[in-house]
Structure 1
Amino acid sequence: MVDIADLASMIEIQTEATVSRTVLKEDGLRTVLFAFDRDQVLTEHTAAMPVMIQVLSGLLRIGAEGREVELAPGGVVYLGTRLPHTVYAVEPSKMVLSMFDNRG
């Protein structure tokens, strides 16, 4: 069993930056925390596996499949393997990225 009591406390927002920290690597799952200052962006990219994004604090705009959604704390988006997507911080934000490695 792996236990993490407070994901948001494990990463800090830095001025004019995007930072990340891997907090869990287990069979079939990797969990990475991201912290974004306002107006920071992850330009269009893909992931080699399905991913789930959950906002811990702030407000993020996620773009994929020709549309955008804004996620507040507690909001979740699931993205399939190799789906091009973007992440934009509307305000200083923290998110958790769960990557599901089902490649065997």
Structure 2
Amino acid sequence: MKDTFPKSSVMVIGEMIGYADGGVVSKQVLKSEAGNITLFSFDRDQGLSEHTAPFDALVQILDGEAEIMLGGETIRLKKGESVIMPAGVKHSLHAIIRFKMLLTMIRG
């Protein structure tokens, strides 16, 4: 089961997750009926294969650089940049260099 972070505590969100050599790490920050927030780290050349999600999702890059295929279009994001992935649109992620992201999915 993924970790859920404590409420009412100050966090430096990018420091709340580390990298795993050759892997992907995820930690659940917050989960509710309204949606969830998950922190991810990807080592270089790691990623998530093409899939869809039933709800819009905001991706915020906290460190590094990622390539996102979104509806057949390639988007490169680096630290400080974000994109909203629309519900039902096929997407995949690939680490150009290792990166961390915060994924916020809102149901509705």
Q: Same fold (TM over 0.5)?
A: yes
**Total equivalences in the alignment:** 102
Which is further off, 26-35 or 84-93? 26-35
Identity %: 32
Distance 1:25 1:3 in 2: 16
Amino acid at match of 1:15: D
1:100 aligns with 2:106: yes
What SS class does the counterpart of residue 8 from structure 1 fall into?
helix
Q: Give the aligned partner of residue 29 of structure 1.
A: 35
Distance 1:67 1:17 in 2: 25
Amino acid at match of 1:7: I
Q: Give the aligned partner of residue 4 of structure 2.
A: none
1:14 aligns with 2:25: no
The answer for unaligned runs of 5 or more in structure 2 is 1-6
What TM-score, normalized by structure 1, do the two folds share? 0.90
Q: Give the aligned partner of residue 82 of structure 1.
A: 88
The answer for unaligned runs of 5 or more in structure 1 is none
Distance 1:25 1:2 in 2: 15
Amino acid at match of 1:39: D
**Pairwise CA RMSD of aligned residues?**
1.5
What TM-score, normalized by structure 2, do the two folds share? 0.87
